[in-house]
Amino acid sequence: MVLDIYERCNADDGCRERWQRWELHRHIMNCILSERIFSAVKIKDAVVLGAGRCEDIDLKFLLDHVQSLTLVDYDYNSMEKALERQELSVEEKEKIILKGNIEFTGFYNKDFIDNVIAKIKMKENPATVMQFVMERLNSAASNVKELLDNQEYSLVISGAVHSQLIVPYTEIAAIDNEYRDVMMSEAGNIANILAENYNKVVASLVKKDGWLFSYFDVMELSERNNTLSYEGFINGLMAQNEYEKIDEFFVQTGGVAGARHGYKHLCELAEKYMTYNKSWIWNFRDNKKYYVHSICFRKV
Ligand SMILES: C[S@@+](CC[C@H](N)C(=O)[O-])C[C@H]1O[C@@H](n2cnc3c(N)ncnc32)[C@H](O)[C@@H]1O
């Protein structure tokens, strides 16, 4: 089952270490939410998409400012465990609604996954397999809104999801070496289309006058990429508000598929609103960091 990749990815046991390491990351987001949103309004209903292990979400902080909080992810179990780890009180838990087994893009249904895998196992021509994939991509429609009972929210939060939407596809591509190259050559393009479709879903969940906050892991700084040493250089440019120079630099070194494009596309969708954009470096794990873009706006 390919979609259980999300549960498998979320299942490692470094939670305690990550919770400490990601403190600054959560703090930056809490400051944005406080300054931009919570200082002005009390939020009735909020939703977090891609809540997962909730390690980037300070649930107690959020619950202090909202009347109800819906957490959504394909992986239900990780969210349930997160409520225990963050030691929520009974009253806090009562404000939370968990929605699992929800796939955001509509691209990956069981029939589609079974069919692609069958085609690969039957050694169908790779070009025909890709044609099947692209047809599916063009006709797929997300049903997230219906699965959330057509509810709209006063605050919608999405964190580091855009980069993950391609993951099941890459799992399928890895099944057979003969198909891997041709499938992976389209992965960036598919990731970008999934990111655009996801943006539309996220935006459609925001009430009129409601808020949207999303962050994107647009660039990996890692040993693997040989880019860890650029952190100081990037911090220097951020201190001077030279964000375009950072982006130019990343165009040369590449970026995270889905995330870069998803950010750009959401900025375009939000053009008519007053947006607040902030970037920072997310200390993800030993030898791996992400340069993060975020956007926050009110859908007035
Ligand atoms: C990188 S994590 C975000 C961090 C997460 N909030 C945490 O602290 O653990 C992305 C989350 O989005 C979920 N996700 C990614 N793609 C998804 C999809 N297509 N449908 C539903 N959930 C998805 C994953 O299960 C994962 O929990």
Whether ligand 1 lies within 6 angstroms of the CB of 104 is answered as: yes
Domain total in the chain: 1
Residue 125 within any structural domain of the chain: yes
Question: Which ligand 1 atom lies nearest to the CA of residue 217?
Answer: 1
214 beta partners = 158, 295
User: What is the per-residue pLDDT across 221-233, written as a single tens digit (0 to 9) for each?
Assistant: 999 888 999 999 9
Residue 251 within any structural domain of the chain: no
Q: Domain range for residue 287?
A: 2-229+257-298
pTM over 0.95: yes
Separation of CA 162 and ligand 1 centre (Å): 9
Give which of 16, 80, 87, 17 is closest to 52, Cα–Cα. Answer: 80
Whether ligand 1 lies within 6 angstroms of the CB of 161 is answered as: yes
Whether ligand 1 lies within 6 angstroms of the CB of 55 is answered as: yes
Distances (CA, A) of 100 to 80, 129, 152, 186: 10, 30, 18, 29
The CATH number that applies at residue 215 is 3.40.50.150
Looking only at Cα atoms, what is the longest distance across the chain? 59
Which residue has tokens 């991509």?
Answer: 137
CA separation for the pair 133, 116 (Å, rounded): 8
Residue 127 within any structural domain of the chain: yes
What pLDDT shows up at residue 42?
86
> Which protein residue's CA is at the shortest distance from atom 25 of ligand 1?
6
Residue 205 within any structural domain of the chain: yes
Separation of CA 294 and ligand 1 centre (Å): 17
Question: Which ligand 1 atom lies nearest to the CA of residue 6?
Answer: 25
Q: Which residue type occupies 171?
A: E
CA separation for the pair 12, 274 (Å, rounded): 39
Record the tokens describing residue 198, joined without a space.
């996801």
Residue 242 within any structural domain of the chain: no
Question: Which ligand 1 atom lies nearest to the CA of residue 53?
Answer: 9
Whether ligand 1 lies within 6 angstroms of the CB of 194 is answered as: no
> Which protein residue's CA is at the shortest distance from atom 13 of ligand 1?
50
Whether ligand 1 lies within 6 angstroms of the CB of 33 is answered as: no
Contact 186, 126 (CB under 8 A): no
What pLDDT shows up at residue 155?
98
Separation of CA 127 and ligand 1 centre (Å): 30
Residue 243 within any structural domain of the chain: no
Q: Which among 4, 23, 74, 196 is the best mutation to test ligand 1's pocket, defined by most ligand atoms within 8 Å of the CB?
A: 74
What pLDDT shows up at residue 255?
77
What pLDDT shows up at residue 135?
98
What pLDDT shows up at residue 134?
98
Q: Which among 4, 6, 71, 72 is the best mutation to test ligand 1's pocket, defined by most ligand atoms within 8 Å of the CB?
A: 6
Block means of pLDDT (10 residues each) for the chain, 300 residues, are 91 92 98 96 95 98 98 97 96 98 96 97 97 97 97 98 97 96 96 98 98 97 90 95 89 82 97 97 95 97
Residue 164 within any structural domain of the chain: yes
CA separation for the pair 140, 105 (Å, rounded): 8
Separation of CA 226 and ligand 1 centre (Å): 26
Which residue has tokens 């089952």?
Answer: 1
Question: Which ligand 1 atom lies nearest to the CA of residue 159?
Answer: 3
